[in-house]
Structure 1
Amino acid sequence: MKKFINILFVFSWLIYLVLFIAKKQEISLPYFISCYAADLLAIPLVLGLISVILKKYTANPYFELSAIKVLFACTYFSLLFEWILPSYSSNYISDPIDVLCYFVGGGCYYHITRFIKEKSLRDATTLR
């Protein structure tokens, strides 16, 4: 299962990289993908990276972000990128659908990590 989560994490970063390059090269993508795919991936990528760092530095390979921490991250991103930064810079545009994408991405991250942890625990108990 650990290998699956690593593959999923790397694959998500590759998708984000392709989206970033496509935008820089001005490659036309479908509307939803060009506008919202990065927002859907933002929370899982950031929390995945934070989780990897915390697992390494807390020496706890079973460390997991709680639902409250995931909700906090979604709220933080929403406030920062959709309310605060757009009021200070024209580089940022406030879009309520982005907020929805942050929370959907956070929910997916939370449920996938919970599923993988529960499956790992079930597999560990069946081996005993």
Structure 2
Amino acid sequence: MKNKISYWFLLGLAVWALIIFLRKSGIFIPVMSNYFTDLITVPMYTYLIEHLMNEVLGYHWKPDFKFILNSVLYLSMLFEVVCPMLSERFTGDILDMVAYLVGGVVYYFLRIKLVNFFKCEDM
């Protein structure tokens, strides 16, 4: 990771901030507001944890498929089951869970599997 935050992560934060700003301004883009933020949640969550573990705490850790699947389950239970029971502001939606899963699987194959594939070819 070379001691710097990924441009993709920063772009994700910028998009997230833009969507929140648009919502607060009364502009609602259905697919973007409803599912895009959920789609990038697991990749951003996983990348942030990986960055903190490796660059801040000094470990050499890579997320595996089990970690990503557990993250999908955790975030799905928290934001789609528990939070809607505690507040009317949250709504439980199965498509949000699917977005978490798709984001996690895409992240796994593009970031983890693809990086490992290219490392093996360089040897």
**Which sections of structure 1, spanning at least 5 residues, go unmatched?**
none
| Aligned-pair CA distance for 1:91 | 1.3
**Which sections of structure 2, spanning at least 5 residues, go unmatched?**
none
> SS where residue 89 of structure 2 aligns?
coil
Question: Runs (4+) of structure 1 moved beyond 6 Å?
Answer: none
Which residue type is aligned with residue 17 of structure 1? A
What is the distance in 2 between the residues matched to 1:21 and 1:52? Answer: 26
Residue 77, structure 1, aligned to residue 72, structure 2? no
Gap change, CA 1:15 and 1:117, over 3 Å in 2: farther
What is the distance in 1 between the residues matched to 2:24 and 2:119? Answer: 40
Which residue type is aligned with residue 22 of structure 2? A
Gap change, CA 1:26 and 1:65, over 3 Å in 2: same
TM-score by length of 2: 0.86
Which residue type is aligned with residue 104 of structure 1? V
Gap change, CA 1:13 and 1:116, over 3 Å in 2: farther
Residue 104, structure 1, aligned to residue 94, structure 2? no
**Percent pairwise identity:** 25
Which residue type is aligned with residue 87 of structure 1? M
1:51 maps to which residue? Answer: 50
1:40 maps to which residue? Answer: 39
2:85 maps to which residue? Answer: 87
How many residue pairs align between the two structures?
Answer: 119
| Aligned-pair CA distance for 1:10 | 1.8
